[in-house]
């Protein structure tokens, strides 16, 4: 059974069509859109500020979503994949984004739509990722622009696959 609990009177809001793995943790002021999936050992802590998650978002195994106390909430748009063991902290991720495995997105970063954060990348505080680009490295820098084919071939494909994967656990 997942840990889903209020903090200071603020309850997570999770639509019935979302999948939450039995060892995931969601606490505090967290609101999720439709068709989301929260995978094994993922933690979403809306205890120090709110976390808003759009539609068709998958937060994969071991990922941590948090915020900065009374300063930086976390907002995640629609059609976003947060890779295994990623850390998303006090930032904004817009629509159609792939956050690679093990990457870290720090406070007050903004990841514009149609972007990819490469596996293992570290976006330092206040980094702004321009729409349609790939950022990689430590600290992360723009490495190239994304083609329309890559947007549909990777970003959309992964988000759609996770809707299918989560259906296997709802049977």
CATH no. for residue 159?
2.160.10.10
Q: What is the pLDDT of residue 170?
A: 83
Give CA–CA dist 18/157, Å, rounded: 18
Q: What is the pLDDT of residue 152?
A: 77
Q: How many domains does the chain have?
A: 1
pLDDT in tens for each of the 171 residues of the chain? 899 999 999 999 999 999 999 999 999 999 999 999 999 999 999 999 999 999 999 999 999 999 999 999 999 999 999 999 999 999 999 999 999 999 999 999 999 999 999 999 999 999 999 999 999 999 999 999 998 887 878 899 999 999 999 999 986
Spell out the SS3 assignment of 71-140: CECEEECCCEEECCCCEEECCEECCCEEECCCCEECCCCEECCCEEECCCCEECCCCEECCCEEEECCCC
Tell me the residue range of the domain where 145 lies.
3-170
Q: What is the pLDDT of residue 147?
A: 86
């Amino acid at each position: 059974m997942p840990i889903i609990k209020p903090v200071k009177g603020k309850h997570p809001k999770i639509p019935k069509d979302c999948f939450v793995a039995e060892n995931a943790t969601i606490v505090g002021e967290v609101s999720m859109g439709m068709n989301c999936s929260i995978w094994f050992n993922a933690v979403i802590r809306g205890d120090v500020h709110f976390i808003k998650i759009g539609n068709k978002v998958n937060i994969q195994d071991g990922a941590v979503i948090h915020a900065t106390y009374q300063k930086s909430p976390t907002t995640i748009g629609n059609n976003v994949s947060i890779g295994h063991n990623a850390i998303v902290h006090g930032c904004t991720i817009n629509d159609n984004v792939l956050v690679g495995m093990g990457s870290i997105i720090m406070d007050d970063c903004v990841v514009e739509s149609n972007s990819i954060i490469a596996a293992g990348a570290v976006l330092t505080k206040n980094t702004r990722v321009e729409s349609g680009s790939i950022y990689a490295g430590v600290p992360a820098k723009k490495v190239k622009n994304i083609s329309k084919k890559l947007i549909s071939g990777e970003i959309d494909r992964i988000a759609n696959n996770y809707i299918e994967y989560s259906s296997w656990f709802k049977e």
